[in-house]
Structure 1
Amino acid sequence: MAAYLSRLHHISLHVTNVDKIAYELVSKFKFNLFVARLTEKSKQLAFRKGAAVFVVNERPNKSPLELNGVTLSTGRGISPSQSEPGWTNNIQPGENNDKDPNCLYDVHPHYPVDTASNVCFEVEDVERSFKSLRNLGCDFLVPPTEVCDEKGLVTYSVVKSILGNVNHTLVDTSKYKGSFLPGFQEVENVAKSTESCPITHFDHITYACPRRCTPQVMSWYERHFGFQRFFIDSNEDVDEGYVLNKEGIGLRLTAMEYWKCSETGIKLPFTDRKQPDCKFVIAESLPEQGRNQVDTFLEQHRGPGIQHIGLYTQDIVSTAQTMGQAGVHFFSPPPAYYTEVGKQQEMEDVGYDPQMLSQHGILLDTDLRQAQTDPSCQTTDTQKKRYLLQVFTKPIFSEDTFFLELIERRGASGFGEGNIQALWRSVQAYMDTERAETEAQGENTTQPQNITPEPKHCHNA
């Protein structure tokens, strides 16, 4: 029996330069640091925007108390590097008697590059989920474990996924009344972002995987967590997924969702019926068009994993403008996208100025294809037209392996099949430029590893 999931609790990042990522999440992406856990050998900071929570963990490949040549004091918080000005000087978590040097609610991955590697889910019963998944043959990195403080008790376990270094923490917080999790202390004297940036939750998570691995990954999530297929395009082939195989882009995208029971079709008994959902997208390259950004990710990341995460915003224009002014860099789609036949009219029909969208690199896609087959979508009322807007940030890790996407949905539940080619082409152009510059500088001195293994290699031990 599968271990059905209630909601997405948080996503963990493991990075070398905690100061840099912390600074960018707060100053550029307008997240708020709200709790921290600092011990002699572990540093974990949690950032929140709406229901979206990132936990940033320090990768243990340097001295636990030294980062970029700066000695850190767990009693006084984080000392920033010179490139991240002094807001981090004020990080002072409350009194913390936690002596456990380990990484709570996760494991230290000992991974060679910065990575987003743990997607934590809330479940109703950790012990029952553990037994079900163990009977199905899952590997557990942490067995059911209890952590408590004066505000209650939390039980969690960590299961290894089939895809690269991705793990899943399963956590039950029903007996906890604190602001986050036991072991984390509320942070004092840190300025909160007050700028308008209406991000509410994680919209989707995209995995990059080797060729021919998608069916195996889909099957694993369906069997173990009750995921079911979500069709990106109304004409998408059940077996092949959404395929983009032209003009230099060879890409297969397949999506899945987790809040419905695949066996009975019933919805899970959420505590909060309004809890937003989060979809998962699997991306793999196709050989016909040669090397693309998925291959680049697999090489730079040293294997499959989380390539990007979509942040849902209620106003993508104001969010992109605020982030852009704060220093976030976005991918620029080809200029022809905004002038191609029908696209300009499509944007104006739902009330947007194409030139304004172009300034921010925002793409817009309406459900025109669905309107051709679904009479209920055929309307001239702007308020009832289904559409979405998207824009990608440039990578936030030094290895160019991970980036964020802003997405605003107006009734559209897919991923903008009309935008996919423009989005991925702009990302690929950036990757090609970065690779060429690296090679020109003589930094790429090793031969690329094999990035198209057989399906059995989807699970990187």
Structure 2
Amino acid sequence: MAVPLRRLHHVSLHVSNGRKLAYDLVSKYKFNLFATRLTDRSRQVAFRNGAAVFVVNERPIQGSAGLNEWLQLGGNDKHSADARRVNFEKHKRSNPSCLYDVHLHHPVDSVSNVCFEVEDVERSFKVLRHLGCNFLVPPTTVEDENGLVTYSVVKSIVGNVCHTLIDKTKYGGTFLPGFNVTEKDWSLEKENLSCPVTHFDHITYASPRKSTQQVMRWYEKLFGFQRFFIDSDEDVDEGFVVNQEGVGLRLTAMQYWKCSKAGITLPFTDKKEPDCKFVIAESLPQQGRNQVDTFLEQHRAAGIQHVALYTKNIVSAAHTMAKAGVHFFSPPPAYYTEVGKRREIEEAGHDPQMLSEHGILLDTDLQQDPSSQSECSENRRYLLQVFTKPLFAEDTFFLELIERRGATGFGEGNIRALWRSVQAYMENERRDSQGETVQSAQQ
């Protein structure tokens, strides 16, 4: 029997320069630093925008940024560094340098842990161990004055991806024991109106060819994930396939929670959370090398290629991030001038020129009811999406902004345009890198 998941709690990143990423998350992507755990052996800093929470993990390097420098990223530094230092570490079974996670010593920066809340960690551990799961951390209890939390960490079947399973039913604090919370009165009412992100919409894995079915079976058997069909005509075994015009891609989606339109307010557990879908992307050999292959090569393993942030106003969010220095992928200019796409954008009530300024793509849901095929833009189901360039030095992890107006897919009509823009970027990067190598050799 599979272990039921209650909700996605946070996503963890493991990086060599945590301070740089922290600065980018706050200044460019408009996340708020709200909880820290800084010790001699580990730095863990939590950021959130809406209910989307990232935890940045870094092993400190001698001579690197001090505690005060990290905390200044959060603003309003009312207390001294010593007052904010967590003097805690009170565990029943272990005292890890990396709470709620593990150090995998991956050779490059990586997004490597998706943390889920579950009903009972001990019971989940027994069930999953019986099913053959590899646990990196056994059930471990951590507590402070607000109660206790039990967690364990299981290795997934996808590259370096792990899943922390956490039980917070006996905890009344804002985040997690061991973290010093710097913003205790946070709520969705304090959201950044210029960049209104509410939650994680989906997470996409880059996976080797012919591995999708194995990954799907693993998540279905262990956690009860269910298939989500991107297109009503997609083949059950083959998934959603685009294999033409230089694009060779297979997408297969799964979900663990029935879709809900209601948002959530982390950490209040009486709210229903919208499902966060998982997408598996693999390349097809007929169309040559592509960005999935590039990810696998530069990441040196399968892993998380991108995380989509749901926003209620993508134009405002993209504009705010762009002004702060975020670079987005842009589709070919013809995307906005092609007659059919221009009409599609206008019928949805948007200005093609405005969308083109930040590379925002629009895709209408073609599977809607015939009764909704009216001229009124309010009756059209569509989504808007835009993709950032990679956050790390390697061409691996990036973010997506997505706004849904009734559409539940992933912009399948935009795949070719996005694919070509990403390919052009990576080919330019490759040429620049080769040019620098040649120039260096000549010198």
Assess same fold via TM > 0.5.
yes
Q: Find the counterpart in structure 1 of residue 327 from structure 2.
A: 329
1:177 aligned partner: 172
What does 1:38-437 align with in structure 2 at a 5 Å threshold? 38-58=38-58, 60=59, 64-66=60-62, 70-74=63-67, 76=68, 78=70, 92=81, 94-99=84-89, 100=95, 102-187=97-182, 194=192, 196-259=194-257, 272=270, 274-367=272-365, 369-371=366-368, 374-437=369-432
Q: TM-score, normalised by structure 1?
A: 0.86
Runs of 5+ in structure 1 lacking a partner?
A: 262-269, 446-461
Per-residue displacement from partner, 1:226-276 (whole Å, max 9, x unpaired)?
A: 001111112111111111111111111100001159xxxxxxxx9545311
Q: Distance in 2 between matches of 1:282 and 1:55?
A: 23
Q: 1:345-373 deviations in whole A, cap 9, x for unaligned?
A: 11111110101101110000111x214xx
| C-alpha displacement of 1:195 | 5.7
Partner residue in 2 for 1:442: 437
- If asked which structure has higher relative contact order (CA below 8 Å, sep 6+), I would say 1
Q: One-letter code of the match for 1:129?
A: S
Q: 2:265 is matched with which residue?
A: none
Cα distance in 1, alignment partners of residues 223 and 195 from structure 2: 33
What letter is aligned with 1:396?
L
Quickly say closer, same or farther: Cα 1:438–1:299, change in 2 above 3 A: same
TM-superposed CA distance for 1:381, in Å, is 2.5
CA-CA distance at 1:421 after TM superposition: 1.2
Structure 2 CA distance for aligned equivalents of residues 187 and 411 of structure 1:
36
In the alignment, the residues of structure 1 paired with residue 38 and residue 431 of structure 2 have an alpha-carbon distance, to the nearest angstrom, of 40
Aligned to 2:264: none
Asked whether the equivalents of residues 116 and 163 of structure 2 are also in contact (C-alpha less than 8 Å), the reply is yes
CA distance in 1, matches of 2:71, 2:48: 21
Contact 1:8 1:119 survives alignment (8 Å): yes
Question: Which amino acid is the alignment partner of residue 383 of structure 1?
Answer: E
| Structure 1 range deviating more: 319-328 or 89-98 | 89-98
Specify the code of the residue in structure 2 equivalent to 1:78: W
Q: Deviations over 1:163-209 (max 9, x none)?
A: 100000000111111110000002379xx985611000000000000
Deviation at 1:427, TM superposition (A): 1.2
- Contact kept, 8 Å, 1:41 with 1:101, in 2: the verdict is no
Deviation at 1:89, TM superposition (A): 8.3
Distance in 1 (CA, whole Å) between partners of 2:35 and 2:69 is 12
Alpha-carbon distance change, 193 to 328 in structure 1, aligned in 2, over 3 angstroms: farther
Q: Is the 8 A contact 2:38 2:85 kept in 1?
A: no
* Aligned equivalents of 1:49, 1:347: Cα separation in 2: 28
What is the DSSP-based 3-state SS (H/G/I as helix, E as strand, rest coil) of the residue aligned with 1:441? helix
* Structure 2 letter corresponding to 1:428: Q
Mapped to 1, the partners of 2:114 and 2:293 lie a distance apart of: 23
Residues 356-412 of structure 1 show CA distances to partners (whole Å, capped at 9, x for unaligned) of 101110000111x214xx324323322121000000001111112100000000000
Contact 2:257–2:274 at 8 Å: present in 1 too? no
* 2:263 matched residue in structure 1: none
**Alpha-carbon distance between aligned partners in 2 of 1:272 and 1:376, rounded to the nearest angstrom:** 36
1:245 to 1:153, Cα distance in 2 relative to 1, 3 A: same
Q: Is the 8 A contact 2:32 2:74 kept in 1?
A: no
Q: How far off its partner does 1:425 sit? A: 1.6
The equivalent residue for 2:32 is 32
Give the TM-score taking structure 2 as reference length.
0.90
Is residue 49–residue 191 contact of structure 2 (8 Å, CA) maintained in 1? no
Q: 1:386 to 1:185 in 2, by over 3 A?
A: same
The CA distance in 1 between the partners of 2:392 and 2:349, in whole Å, is: 35
Backbone CA RMSD of aligned residues: 2.5
Q: Provide, for residues 197-223 of structure 1, a one-character-per-residue CA deviation record: whole Å limited to 9, x for no partner.
A: 100000000000000000000000000
How much has 1:88 moved relative to structure 2?
10
* One-letter code aligned to 2:208: P
Distance (Å, rounded) in 2 between the aligned partners of 1:141 and 1:95:
27
Q: Counterpart in 2 of 1:448?
A: none
- Aligned partner of residue 182 in structure 2, secondary structure: strand
> How far has the Cα of 1:426 moved from its partner?
1.0
User: Deviations 1:13-53 (Å, cap 9, x if unpaired)?
Assistant: 00111111100100011100000000100000000111100
Percentage of matched positions with identical amino acids? 69
- When structure 1 is superposed on structure 2, of 335-344 and 20-29 the one drifting more is 335-344
**Alignment length, in residue pairs?**
421
Counterparts of 2:207 and 2:11 in 1: how far apart (Å)? Answer: 19
